[in-house]
Structure 1
Amino acid sequence: MTEYDLQSPTSEVVLLTPSNQNPPVGLGMNGDDNTPSGSGTNKQREGSAESNDSRVRMKKQLGLLEGVAIILGVIFGSGIFISPKGVIREVDAVGTSLVIWVLSGLLSMIGALCYAELGTAIPKSGGDYAYILEAYGSLPAFLYLWDAMMIFVPTTNAIMGLTFASYVLQPFFENNCKIPEAALQLLAAVTICFLTYLNSSYMKVTTKMQNVIMFTKIAALVLIILVGLVWMCMGNVENFKRPFEDTETDPGKIAVAFYSGIFSYAGWNYLNFMTEELRDPYKNLPRAIYISLPLVTGIYVLANTAYLAVLTPQQMIASDAIAVTFGNKVLGAFSFIIPILVAISAFGGLSVHIMTTSRMCFVGARNGHMPALLSQISVKKFTPLPSLVFMCVLSLIMLVVSDVYVLITYSSIVESFFIMLSVSAVLYFRYTRPNMERPIVVSLWIPIVFVIICAFLIVVPIFAAPYEVFMGVLITAIGIPFYYVGVVWRNKPVWLIKLISSLTYTCQKLFLSAREDKSD
């Protein structure tokens, strides 16, 4: 873990390299590296990936279309094709289920508006981490980063990789034959490694691929919606005759249903992780959000309407892959299309997730909350290669953890708390920094409503699922000693500094990477 003086960012710690000479490129142990960054005195040279600017820094390669593709790529993922049953299972009524899908979309749009203000007022990559650090300081930001890097991100990567693998391998096994777990894990591992390599070495290819996959996902959902509409036009509307009959009224179960709905919308804040790579972020960040969220909400509500028209609530609850069950019932010989589209969606969602979350790891290291070697950038590809490799390794470890889904359950409420904390920063900055430059200003009631609703969704599960909440808090609390040892403890022994220096030096040579050039 690195040291970082938040009060005196220009402080300098001299390190010893294996040769006992001046530190090599990018070995500064504080948050503001004063060593060369790999660009020397020549700030312009030929052969840059984007222009004649050869400075080692993240390049602005993302436009409006790529921004929309990133948001849709993460949100759509594979969840809407696999498990919308979480809502209907809790509320037991078709009408109530659709109401929750609408309200979850509206809540996501309200939150996204707040992130548009935060992302343009604080135009830094890192998303929630950057906003919590700016508003509430080092420890809360570190704990969010701890949960995200150790639990949220690698477990999600592992689950998305396993989802892709299961849909690719299923056609090779008979209906009653279970896919070997080792085969799923191996294919998921290969997929994660391949996409990490693609995001490390071919950023342009990755973004173009996301654009294509985005339209593929939309086409798949439009297909489901059209089939559902045709089904209803043929007179099959019996599932909607008494939409609110026997609906659940227990606040705890309704809150859990909202969690399922909101989880399916998760990802609307991921473009904020890559603000520094977005061209004209003051325009393209809010525009991408304004385009994506209404589109997602409309598609999700219509897709769930189609599911509920074709399948009964009992059939939805019993299905492990609702889109496949849907296709088998109404598409006949063409039902094979659905598994292919789900596999493509899972593949694209995993690629976007790997790309965006690696930037949060990179920014955390740049601020001294992660090892210094993770704040380096490839001098050839201008991507955060060490961070990508680090997250890849953690994701591979999660593939062999038997209780990976349980870890996400434990951490989901904690993650919601940090999202609430990020949005509350809008209110905090309005009070403490009234003159702060804000290219976009949302009405004050928007963050207030979001924070109140999130607080309700956080408090209710404390009584409904106290064990899960306790485990989530415990996982977060485990990060506190690491914070004090890695970040606060300054007088580290010389042998430890030498070890960190040697490791950083070796990784620099291995990845051909250097610290970011911050000069303009």
Structure 2
Amino acid sequence: MADPATGFVRRIGPFQATAINMSQMCGIGPFITIPLMVGAFRGPQAVIGFVAGAVLALADGLVWAELGAAMPGAGGSYVYLRQAFQYRTGRLMPFLFVWTAMLFIPLAMASGALGFVQYLGYLWPGMTRTQGNLVGLAVIALVVALLWRRVENIARITTVLWGVMILCVLLVIVAAFTHFDPGMAFTYPEGAFAVTTSGFWIGFAAGLTNGIYDYGGYNTAAYLGAEIKDPGRTLPRAIVFSILGIMTIYLLVQIGVLGVIDWEEMTKEDSPAYAAVAAVMLERTWGPTAADVITVLILVTTFASLFAGLLGGSRVPYDAARDKVFFRSFARLHPVHRFPVLPLLSMGVIASAGFLIGRYTSLMTIILLLMTVMVIVQALAQIVALTVLRRRQPGLRRPYRMWLYPLPSLVAFVGWVVIFGYADKNSPGHHPIEWSLAWVGAGCVAFVLWAAYEKVWPFGPREISEEYLRDGEPGSGSGDRPGSGPGGGPDGEADGDAGPDSREPAPA
């Protein structure tokens, strides 16, 4: 039955949560970013990018694991930022997160659709730009149509698509290593590891950006926290297992491809290996027929990634609207299938617009823009939120606590700062840093106008809502209450004296 507090039902189990994460992570990403990463590093040492991306993903994933297990509500980061920063800035941070998420989540979908059309070009060499545009828009529309149903049916679809994804990458890995040349994969150009030069670090930042873009999605299940069974146990495991699994897959894929195709060939933009490196590798190892078949599987894998991304992302504005931190019409669920209607449709429209923009600029432009927008409000602010909550809400029930705290937080913080700081140098002339700051600045202006209309801070009292400190009985099943299950041991019992939500004057 639906939780009366949220309208959601906890139906997604551990395997399905891990499958949702992995489906979002292993989409078209590595198949389109290997040439970009090799070009950034100027050699097969580009594997450093995937390793660095895995380290950042795992460190940041542990932040998500602790926060998601303690506060398993719909919306993920929105919930965590709302709880952590309400004491000083009211609703500003959750508002800004939803504001930026309405851009970076659809842009991630748009980049996947761009990759889909790029690989389709291998099977359809005569495809025109207009035809490619129509195909990409149709793919996004189909994703929206398939999500127009009950979440337990979606979980089954995702599990099937996850199986196709695993089959696809395994075939790519096997094909590469049956014709593997170690000399190609492990012969590095002069100065490849000259860490004292600025060029190395610019390339490293670009590789790290592409690497974490490829790993993006390890947090998808956290956005569905209100629909996860036993979230205190399920969410940390789904995050860690999906990152470790995809890390292994990505390293094998990149090393295998570098052992078949010369790295200089895949960096030339007019080369077929630049547009569809996996398809070209398969053609040279198993022949054209096998390349065509596995390219179809790559397209299915890409579709699965778009599917999982929009599934989780559409829950973000819903939870914000339900708490009156976003337009109230976004809080409506479908009366029968219980999914957020307007968030799903609006993100589909924004993704379509982002796809068309990417078609007339470049894939790297879209990747850098979505990454810089995401870093400011989600990545960095969420790391700070974990520490703030440990101090502000020590009685919060934490079924999982970050291993080696605060080391993973520090590693993640430094990694995100490197990505943001080098973004302009890796996209000359496009100014992703300035555009991202402008978008956040516009969000601040929008918040002031909205807060004045709603009479909330800074035009009214702060609203302190510590609902996760209340009703902390394990297994309560509430969509906005702490999850149950023996994760890593509770951090403390719930505070039974927290009292009801309060409106209190801002301290002087």
Separation (CA, whole Å) in 2 of partners of 1:165 and 1:313:
23
Task: Name the residue aligned to 2:379.
Answer: 419
Equivalent residues in 2 for 1:18-417, closer than 5 Å = 51=1, 57-94=7-44, 96-137=45-86, 138-149=91-102, 151-165=103-117, 167-168=119-120, 171=123, 173=124, 175=125, 177=126, 179-232=127-180, 236-243=181-188, 245-247=190-192, 249=195, 250=198, 251-318=201-268, 319-332=274-287, 333-401=289-357, 402-403=360-361, 405=363, 406-417=365-376
User: SS of the counterpart of 2:337?
Assistant: coil
The amino acid that maps onto 1:457 is: I
How far did 1:87 drift? 2.0
Unpaired segments ≥5 residues, structure 1: 1-50, 493-515
Q: 1:181 to 1:369 in 2, by over 3 A?
A: farther
TM-score by length of 1: 0.78
How far has the Cα of 1:413 moved from its partner?
1.9
Is contact 1:83–1:320 with CA below 8 Å preserved after alignment? no
Q: CA deviation at 1:376?
A: 1.0
Q: 2:73, 2:480 within 8 Å by CA — same for their partners in 1?
A: no
Preserved CA contact (<8 Å) 2:119 2:275: no
Q: Would you say the 8 A contact 2:233–2:399 is kept in 1?
A: no
Counterparts in 2 of 1:134 and 1:230: CA distance versus 1, 3 Å = same
How much identity, in percent, do the aligned residues show? Answer: 20
Moved more, 331-340 or 275-284: 331-340
Measure, in 2, the Cα distance between the counterparts of 1:491 and 1:237. Answer: 65
**1:167, 1:343 within 8 Å by CA — same for their partners in 2?**
yes
Is residue 490 of structure 1 aligned with residue 449 of structure 2? no
State the alpha-carbon separation in 1 of the partners of residues 417 and 480 from structure 2: 39
Q: Give the residue type in structure 1 aligned to 2:368.
A: T
Report how far residue 441 of structure 1 moved.
1.0
- Paired residues of 2:83 and 2:389 also in contact (CA < 8 A): no
2:388 alignment partner in structure 1: 428
Provide closer, same or farther for how the CA distance between residues 324 and 191 of structure 1 changes in structure 2, counting only shifts above 3 A.
same
Cα gap change, 1:157 to 1:109, in 2 (>3 Å) = same
Is the radius of gyration larger for structure 1 or structure 2?
1
The number of aligned residues is 437
Deviation of residue 400 (structure 1)? 3.8
Q: Aligned partners of 2:68 and 2:150: how far apart in 1? A: 26
What 5-or-longer segments of structure 2 have no aligned partner?
269-273, 457-477, 482-508
After superposition, the CA RMSD in angstroms is 2.7
Structure 1 distance, partners of 2:276, 2:34, is 9
CA contact (8 A) 1:420 1:454 kept: yes
- AA partner of residue 434 (structure 1): P
Once the two structures are superposed, residues 300-358 of structure 1 have per-residue CA deviations (whole angstroms, 9 ceiling, x without a partner) of 11111101100111122231121112112112132212210111011111111111100
Asked whether the 8 Å contact 1:200–1:384 carries over to 2, the reply is: no
Whether the 8 Å contact between 2:8 and 2:338 is mirrored in structure 1 is yes
CA 1:411–1:208 in structure 2 vs 1: closer, same or farther (change >3 Å)? closer
Structure 1 window deviating more from structure 2 (64-73 vs 430-439): it is 430-439
Deviation of 1:69 after TM superposition, in Å, equals: 1.1
Q: Deviations over 1:403-439 (max 9, x none)?
A: 4853543342231233122122222222333333211
Counterparts of 1:308 and 1:99, CA distance in 2 = 13
Deviations 1:390-412 (A, max 9, x none): 22232333344344853543342
Q: Which amino acid aligns with 1:343?
A: L
Letter in 1 for 2:66: E
SS state at 1:335 partner: helix
